[in-house]
């Protein structure tokens, strides 16, 4: 009965636990109520901000430029809503200054209250920011001078287009269709088109072997394990930005795990099923093609799972992994970014009840959580752009992939949240495989680790923590971009840069900020650095590309296979 009630409530709250939010608010409110010093400080700040705004407004209204040109508060560097010249004219400059001062005051009010737990403080500050963003003057026609100018210039045609955009989006949402423009990007036609064969299939994965494009190849193959929260082809998008294509052109034989999109029948698949059916079965299938050691590559959740598999293999003396490469993948979850806002006992229990009813976590809940983390960019700015400006951002391959999410089974996602995010069992040596604990420090294969500077999913300082756990050579590379765009960093991509350094197993530890300060920036894509690292740890190229058919394993179908096409 309790599960049913929570699952019903989840439909209204979008998967957010009312108990978790109420507990955070109560913790903050009670401690603020018994903090007269903090209250006095907030009252003082409110009076100062009100006086500053009144002073600024009076000078702006009278047109005294030297005073009006000095704002009370500047937007944060990443906040570009009020950068336009039209926002610097009265009365709109007063409107946006009032909003920013209010936002600044609420940040002070929700942070720095003695006695409030850090997680509750983060939740309350985040919730206050979300509420305030709703009332930003940039979101409304009558308070946005740039929108008013455009509307006057176009005679209201922008609003007509915006209404058409809104109706189109509403119909697509109701009918469960993908966003406008995704129809121009189809897997197997202009996405995921690197030629290859599916050489193995089980109930959870298809294993793709890509065709060689060079006459000679390195003997060691590469196995890529992508995240199962999305489709695999982010690493094989369009031909011009495909990591798979780039690796095959550099003389590597590449295998790719393509995850099934689970349904209610897969509700009892757990983390160990993903390890055995996903990684171990793939390694066994590759072992039938070649007896060479394998370069393991994991991206995001796939990297975390690959770390678990590698630690278990190291414990058991399985030396099939020659190297380990982890892209935006975490092994320690104590500082796992803003996603931790949604991770506590109340929230995980609420999610478990919601998934228990369906048998899986729906893609809408996942995409909604990620949008909330960047609501200013992904929700409000898009609404202004699409519905008030009447303009559509042109769809690209990465955006099309981003709308192609997958479901996650009830058991697996519950275990993932509890064992890793909530209890951090992998980093603390309490995660068990086959009834025995594993530790990352057992891994002896050299590690290549990639973090991205603007990652909201796996913050680079959290990814960097593998340096605290590993007892082997670790090469850490920090690249520009976010969780997805930073990894898809093809040669020639504009405005790309990276830092890189190698820590040998007996080198002294450097904290991430020291590491950042000591390593210079290199311009360009990080992909060539990755290839150089792989080649230095690979054998000489031979004239005999790996052929699954010659080993007796007949191809099942052509790439991209069938699992990636499942809705």
Quote the Cα angle for 516-521-526, to 5°: 105
Is residue 221 within 8 A of residue 295, CB to CB? The reply is: yes
H/E segment holding residue 141: none
Spatial separation of the C-alpha atoms in residues 153 and 109, rounded to whole Å: 42
Question: Could you tell me the two tokens for 561?
Answer: 């296979």
Is residue 269 within 8 A of residue 261, CB to CB? The reply is: no
SS (H, E, C) 386-444: HHHCCCCCCCCHHHHHHCCECCEEHHHHHHHHHHHHHCCCCCCCCCEECCEECCHHHCC
DSSP 508: P
Nearest to 453 by CA among 499, 419, 406: 499
Active site residue 532: no
Catalytic pick from 72, 300, 532, 557? Answer: 300
Is residue 56 within 8 A of residue 101, CB to CB? The reply is: no
Spatial separation of the C-alpha atoms in residues 379 and 354, rounded to whole Å: 24
Spatial separation of the C-alpha atoms in residues 220 and 215, rounded to whole Å: 15
Is residue 472 within 8 A of residue 444, CB to CB? The reply is: yes
Neighbours of 155 (CB within 10 A): 9
Three-state SS at 247: helix
For residue 242, the number of C-alpha atoms closer than 13 Å in the C-beta half-sphere is 23
Phi/psi class of residue 417: alpha, beta or left (left: φ > 0; alpha: ψ in -120 to 50)?
A: alpha
Is residue 250 within 8 A of residue 491, CB to CB? The reply is: no
Spatial separation of the C-alpha atoms in residues 534 and 14, rounded to whole Å: 44
Helix spans in 155-212 (H): 157-174
DSSP 543: S
Quote the Cα angle for 139-145-148, to 5°: 90
Q: Is the peptide bond before 560 cis (omega within 30 degrees of 0)?
A: yes
The catalytic residues are: 300
């Amino acid at each position: 009965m309790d599960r049913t009630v929570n699952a019903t409530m989840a439909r209204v709250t979008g998967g957010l636990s009312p108990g978790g939010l109420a507990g955070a608010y109560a913790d903050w409110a009670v401690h603020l109520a018994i903090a007269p010093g903090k209250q006095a400080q907030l009252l003082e700040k409110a009076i100062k901000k009100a006086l500053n705004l009144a002073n600024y407004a009076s000078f702006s209204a009278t047109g005294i430029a030297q005073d009006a040109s000095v704002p009370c508060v500047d937007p944060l560097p990443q906040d570009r809503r009020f950068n336009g010249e039209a926002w610097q004219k009265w009365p709109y400059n007063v409107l946006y200054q009032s909003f920013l001062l209010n936002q600044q005051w609420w940040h002070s009010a929700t942070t720095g209250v003695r006695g409030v737990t850090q997680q509750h403080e983060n939740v309350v500050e985040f919730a206050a920011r979300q509420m305030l963003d709703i009332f930003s003057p940039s979101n409304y026609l009558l308070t946005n001078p740039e929108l008013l100018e455009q509307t006057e210039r176009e005679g209201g045609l922008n609003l007509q287009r915006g209404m058409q955009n809104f109706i189109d989006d509403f119909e697509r949402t109701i009918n469960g269709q993908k966003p406008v423009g995704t129809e121009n990007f189809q897997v197997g036609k202009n996405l995921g088109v690197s030629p290859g064969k599916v050489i193995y299939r089980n109930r959870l994965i298809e294993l793709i072997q890509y065709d060689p494009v060079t006459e000679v190849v390195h003997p060691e193959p590469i196995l890529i394990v992508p995240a199962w929260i999305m489709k695999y082809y982010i690493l094989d998008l369009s031909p011009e930005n495909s990591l798979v294509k780039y690796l095959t052109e550099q003389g590597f034989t590449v295998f790719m795990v393509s995850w099934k999109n689970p349904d209610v029948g897969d509700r009892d698949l757990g983390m160990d099923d993903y390890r055995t059916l996903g990684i171990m079965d793939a390694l066994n299938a590759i072992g039938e093609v070649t007896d060479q050691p394998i370069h393991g590559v994991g991206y995001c959740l796939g990297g975390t799972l690959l770390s678990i598999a590698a630690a278990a293999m190291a414990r058991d003396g399985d030396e099939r992994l020659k190297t380990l490469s982890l892209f935006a993948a975490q092994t320690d979850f104590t500082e796992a970014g803003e996603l931790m806002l949604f991770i506590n006992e109340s929230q995980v229990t609420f999610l478990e009840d919601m998934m228990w009813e369906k048998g899986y976590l729906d893609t809408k809940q996942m995409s909604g959580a990620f949008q909330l983390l960047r609501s200013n960019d992904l929700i409000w700015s898009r609404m202004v752009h699409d519905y008030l400006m009447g303009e559509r951002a042109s769809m690209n391959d990465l955006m099309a992939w981003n709308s192609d999410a997958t479901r996650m089974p009830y058991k697996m996602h519950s275990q993932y949240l509890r064992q890793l995010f909530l209890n951090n069992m992998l980093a603390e040596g309490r995660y068990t495989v086959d009834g025995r604990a594993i530790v990352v420090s057992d891994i002896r294969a050299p590690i290549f680790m990639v973090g991205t500077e603007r990652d909201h999913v796996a913050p680079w300082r959290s990814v960097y923590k593998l340096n605290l756990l590993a007892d082997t050579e670790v090469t850490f590379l920090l690249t520009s971009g976010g969780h997805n765009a930073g990894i898809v960093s093809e040669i020639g991509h504009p405005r790309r840069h990276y830092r890189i350094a190698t820590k040998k197993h007996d080198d002294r530890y450097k904290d991430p900020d020291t590491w950042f300060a000591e390593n210079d920036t290199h311009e360009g894509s990080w992909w060539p650095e990755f290839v150089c690292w792989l080649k230095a740890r690979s054998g000489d190229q031979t004239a005999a590309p790996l052929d699954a058919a010659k080993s007796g394993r007949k191809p099942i179908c052509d790439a991209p296979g069938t699992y990636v096409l499942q809705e």
